[in-house]
Amino acid sequence: MAEWLLGGEPFQKSKNDYDWLGPGIYFWEANPLRGLEYATDLQSTTWGSDITTPAVVGAIIDLGHCLDLMNSAGIRQIQAAYVTYIANCEAAGYEPLKNSPDVHQLQRPLDCAVFAQLHAIRKDNMEQPIDTVRGAFVEGEPVYKGAGFRAKSHIQICVCNTSCIKGVFRVPQEQLI
């Protein structure tokens, strides 16, 4: 897949109902080693059974109209979308989706549904679509006893608008050690 992308083939959007930041193309910001670790971990699961050689590619991304979940304005937008999502579920008599309570399972159907709601709200209000979503994720075991830092924490970018990907490149080997 990496060679395919480096050869100019387009990225495929992830459209799983459990994607943390909704549908899109996912990148680890400035952390290709974490991306490689994830691909390696995924290889041993049923989801990643088609991964023969874990790899990562670098990308030049223009964030465009970015929903940044590391600032208050971004947080307020997603909170408002959650309130609308819950109200819509109640009105339709549906049980709202839930995220996996297991912190080692990365399935986030509630978060994905809330992002879908936010995209729908913006479309219905004829607002500018979100090009990218950026969020910090605290993940993994503490890096030492009593630490507030986790071993797999990272900043993730979800590219919703593929024209924001301006180019791809081979990640230098020294960044993957």
Q: Domain-by-domain residue ranges, the chain?
A: 2-176
Q: What is the pLDDT of residue 107?
A: 84
Burial of 156 by CB count in 10 Å (0-12 exposed, 13-18 middle, 19+ buried)?
A: buried
- Residue 99: which of 18, 14, 15 has the closest Cα? 18
Spatial neighbors of 40 by CB under 8 A, at least 6 apart, are: 54
Whole-number Å distance between alpha carbons of 28 and 136: 10
Residues 157, 70: Cα–Cα separation, whole Å: 12
**C-beta separation of 7 from 167 below 8 A:** no
At 42, give phi and psi (nearest 5°): -65, -30
**Average pLDDT per 10 consecutive residues for the chain, totaling 177 residues:** 94 90 95 93 81 94 98 97 98 95 78 96 97 94 95 95 97 94
Give the global pTM. Answer: 0.92
pLDDT given for residue 138 in this prediction: 87
What's the pLDDT score for residue 105? 66
